[in-house]
Amino acid sequence: MQQKFKPQLVPLQAEKDLKTLVENRSVYTMQHCELNVFETRQQSEKVKLVFDDMVLTTMLRGKKVMHLFGSEHFDYLPGESVIVPDKEEMIIDFPEADLLNPTQCIALAVEATMLKDTLNLLNEKYPKTEKQESWNIDISCFHLQNSLEITSAVNRLINISTENIAGKDVLVDFTLKELLIRLMQTQARKLILDSYNNYTATNRFASAVQYIKAHISEEITIDTLSNLCCMSKPTFFRCFKREFGISPVDFILHERIKIACTMLRDQNVTISEACYAVGINNLSYFFKLFKRIEGKTPNEFRKGLN
């Protein structure tokens, strides 16, 4: 179970400043992007929204039901982001919004030239390990749980965009490029995690992930993984982290805790059993690692299931 990292909340508009109870909008315009903050304080259905540029949306408060790509619809909750292509119509329901429980979401519209420049920089200076692959925003992987890195970049963009500071556009551009890179790394990680069996013939990291999944209860060494990928140990470590935004060691630890979370949902499984089943032989270390990754102890995690 992946932890949802929630961006900081933006102060709600004062009630006297609201123009409507549905989709009140505050706009902060920069040189290469536009930050929109939307607030809704009334249950509504089929609210339509379209942007001329690609948009990264992130939920801050409440709940939406998003309808995308004709028939696709899903619950949209805090700690999640959705990437929407330019000129794609979003149809949004607000099933729970009211004055005491407002819905708040940001939408960051990214100018096409900024996206193109970032992709060109990555593909030229830091190409993908597999020659047939290139950096790009994968619209098929449009609904993401925020990583800590995505959340941190979003928070900095909110702070810079909403404050009156010198060099705002330059700071926004640097942070925006970081956010785009973090998004692509998160997408690459999700794609390999969800479908690694489909890519073992074309992506050497898929073979590493397959091995990790199959041997999660055992000791897993970087030597073994780098040999599987036909790389030296330093090259494997560097390329893995560049493509997925996380070191192979941290990736293994996150996988261990994710499986432990699944096990702990079964009340018949003890915390010690979950610890040892995922290849961690020190219960004290398991507690510390679980708290670092999930933001709560195993006992607190279990209490939150009730």
Greater confidence, 211 or 148? 211
Q: How much is the pLDDT for 269?
A: 94
Q: Minimal CA–CA distance to 138: which of 71, 191, 81?
A: 191
H-type helices in the chain, by residue range?
A: 112-125, 148-162, 168-195, 204-214, 222-228, 233-244, 248-264, 271-277, 283-294, 298-303
Residue 17's pLDDT band (cuts 50, 70, 90): low
Q: What percent of the chain has pLDDT over 90?
A: 77
The pLDDT mean for the chain works out to 91
Average confidence (pLDDT) over 7-36? 80
Residues 175, 191: Cα–Cα separation, whole Å? 24
- In three-state secondary structure terms, 231 is coil
Average confidence (pLDDT) over 25-29? 91
Residue 243's pLDDT band (cuts 50, 70, 90): very high
- Tens digits of residue pLDDT in 30-44: 999 999 999 999 999
Q: Of the spans 11-20, 21-30, 194-203, 262-271, which averages the highest pLDDT?
A: 262-271
* Every domain range in the chain assigned CATH 2.60.120.280: 15-194
Tokens representing 183?
């998004």
The answer to whether 27 and 106 have CB atoms below 8 angstroms apart is: no
* Every domain range in the chain assigned CATH 1.10.10.60: 199-303
Residues 240, 95: Cα–Cα separation, whole Å? 41
Q: Minimal CA–CA distance to 181: which of 218, 136, 234, 231?
A: 136
Q: Does position 220 have pLDDT exceeding 60, yes or no?
A: yes
The answer to whether 24 and 13 have CB atoms below 8 angstroms apart is: yes
Residues 183, 245: Cα–Cα separation, whole Å? 9
Query: For the domain 199-303, what is the CATH superfamily, name and number?
Result: Homeodomain-like (1.10.10.60)
- Tens digits of residue pLDDT in 110-125: 999 999 999 999 999 9
- Tens digits of residue pLDDT in 83-137: 999 999 999 999 999 988 999 999 999 999 999 999 999 999 999 999 899 999 9
Q: Does position 18 have pLDDT exceeding 70, yes or no?
A: no
Q: How much is the pLDDT for 6?
A: 79
Residue 5's pLDDT band (cuts 50, 70, 90): confident
**Distance from chain centroid for Cα 131:** 26
How wide is the angle at C-alpha 61 spanned by C-alphas 56 and 75, nearest 5°? 70
Q: Does position 3 have pLDDT exceeding 70, yes or no?
A: no
Residues 223, 234: Cα–Cα separation, whole Å? 10
Domain 15-194 has CATH 2.60.120.280: yes
Residue 1's pLDDT band (cuts 50, 70, 90): very low
pTM of the model: 0.86
Q: How many CA atoms lie within 13 A of 201 on its CB side?
A: 1
